[in-house]
Chain A
C-alpha cells in the first residue's frame, strides 16, 4: 500500500538533520508508548481468537474450558466423514467439498473480473477531470451495509425484473463487493503513473496497442496484481451478499454460517476448517505483501 512511499520519503532526504531528534522525542515519550501499547492490545484481541481457534481445532473437547486431549480427529472427520451415529457428541454430516469448489470457482472468476475492470477504470480515471464523482459512485458499496446492498440487488433482479438467481447472481454480487477494494488498490498505483510516459511512447512512434502492452501494463502491474488478490480473497470469504444471491448454491462461508447457526455439533469441524482457511489466507497475504513491497522498490 501507500506506506512504502512515506518511508521512502524520509530516506530520500537524509540531509535534514533536525528531523531525527524530533521523531525520537515523539517515540520515546510515555504517551507514544501508551498509544503503541493500546494498539497492540487491540491487535491482541484480534489475533487471540484466531490463535485460540487453531488450538481448539486440535483439541478433543473444543467447547468446554481448557483445550486438552490433543487430536486430529476433526480434520479426519472433515475430510472423510465422522462415521459417528446419532447421540454421539460431535459429528453431523459435514460435506465441504462442493461448497469449497464453488467458492474457489467464484473467487477465481471474481479475481479475473476485478483485474480487468480495475485496469479498464483505473487506467482512465486519473486522467479525467470529473474523477471525484466517478470514484464516489464506484466506491458506493463500501458505504452501504452488505446486507442492504445484497437485498437491493436481490429485490431489483428477482422481484423487480423476475430474473432467476443462480451462479450469475453470486458472481455479480461478489464482483460488486470486491471491485471497490480492487479499484482503490489500482488507484494507488495509477495515481503515481507519470502520464508523460504515454506521450513519450507515442512520440517515439509506438502504436496504441504497443503503448498499452509495453508501457501501461508493466507500470500498472502491481495494481493489477493487487486487484486480483483483493478479488480472490474478498470473494472467498464473502457472506452477506451470498445470503441473498445463492438460490440453492452454497459457498463455503455460507456453509459455515448455516452450520454455526444450526447446531453445536459441527462447531469442532468449523474450527478445523477455519484453521485451514486462515492459514491459507495468512500465507497468501504474506506472499502478496512481500511481492507488493519488492515490486515497488
Chain B
C-alpha cells in the first residue's frame, strides 16, 4: 500500500490510474455479482421461453409453442390493450408534466413553494402503491363518494358504474401514480439549461413560443425520453393498478404473467415477459440514442457539477 508514494510506479499510478486499485477490484467484483443476479436471469428468461418444462425440470427442446399458444389464447389482444393504455397515459403524463416542469425550473420564484413542491413530488415514491390505489375503490365504487355526490346533487339518477373496474378507472389510477416519474427527469434537464441561452434567444428577437420550440425543447429531450421510459416501462408491468382499478375486467400483461406463474405455466409466462422485455429493450436503445448527443448518461451527472 505504502509503496505507491515515491517510486516511479507510484507516480505512474497516480497520474493515470487516479482510482485506487482497491476501488477497481470492488467495482469489478460487484459488476460480476450484478451480472449474475440481474443480467443473466434476463437473458435466461428469453432462452427459457423457447424451451419446455415438466414440473420443475427443464426439457431442452427448442420450440415456438409458447408464443403460438400465447397468440392463440388472445395474447395479442392483451398486449395491444396493455401497450395502448400505457402509451396513452404516458403521452397524457408528458403533456401535463412538461409545462409544469418548465414552470418549476424556470418560472417559479418562491423558494418555499419550490421546496414544498419538491417534497410533494418526492413523497409518493415512498408510499405503498397498494394503499394509494385501493382507496380509489371507496371513492369511485357504486356506493362511493363520487356516486353519492352525483346522486345527492341530482346530476344522475342511477349510480355511474364505469367509474371503477373499467378502462377509465385504470387510466385514472395510472395518472397520479406516474406523474412524479415524468416531472423529475424533465425538470432536471430543463433546470440544466443555462439561462443565458434563453436570454440570447430573446435578445435575438425570438418570441417565447419560438424559444420554447427551438431552444428549450431540443435541450430537454434527454429528460423527456427518460421520463417516457420511467413512465411507460413500469406501467407495462404494473401489478396493482390493473388489479385494483380494473377489477379483473381490464386484463393487462402483468396480471396474466402472475396468473400463468400461479398455474405453473412458466414457459408461457416467460414468453409473455420476453415480449415485454423486447419492447423495453427497444426503448432503452431509444433512450441511449437520445442521450448520445449530450454525451451519454454519465455526462448528465458530470453536468451536475456546474
Contact = CB atoms under 8 A, between A and B. Distances in A.
Interface of A: 1-3, 5-7, 9-10, 18-19, 22-24, 26-27, 29, 31-32, 34-36, 38-39, 42-43, 45-47, 49-50, 52-53, 56, 62-66, 117, 120-121, 123-128, 131-132, 134-149, 151-160, 162, 172, 176, 187-188, 191-192, 195, 198-199, 202, 205, 207-208, 233-234, 237, 239-240, 243-244, 253, 256-257, 260-261, 267, 270-271, 274, 277-278, 281-282, 284-286, 289, 293
A187 B38 CA distance: 20
- Grouping DSSP codes into helix (H, G, I), strand (E, B) and loop, the A interface class, with mixed when no group exceeds half, is helix
A64 B198 CA distance: 53
Nearest to B196: A16
A287 B148 CA distance: 39
B155 interface: no
Contact of A52 (B111, B135, B305): B135
17 contacts: A1-B118, A38-B96, A43-B121, A49-B135, A65-B148, A124-B27, A137-B31, A137-B35, A140-B42, A145-B237, A153-B37, A157-B41, A191-B301, A192-B304, A202-B14, A237-B129, A289-B118
Given A5-B304, A6-B105, A274-B131, A144 B258 contact: no
The 3 closest A-B pairs by CB, nearest first: A145-B237, A39-B100, A274-B131
Contact of A38 (B39, B100, B108): B100
Given A65-B148, A123-B23, A155-B45, A39 B239 contact: no
Contacts of A23: 106-107, 109, 195
B107 to A, nearest CB: 4
Task: Identify which of A147, A192, A277 gathers the most chain B CB atoms within 10 Å of its CB.
Answer: A147
A22 B107 contact: no
Task: Identify which of B34, B53, B243 gathers the most chain A CB atoms within 10 Å of its CB.
Answer: B34
Contact of A256 (B34, B56, B130, B266): B130
Interface residues of B, number: 122
Interface string B230-244: 100110111110011
B298 A135 contact: yes
Given A2-B304, A145-B233, A239-B129, A140 B56 contact: no
Given A145-B234, A155-B44, A207-B2, A191 B302 contact: yes
Given A143-B284, A144-B277, A240-B239, A152 B306 contact: no
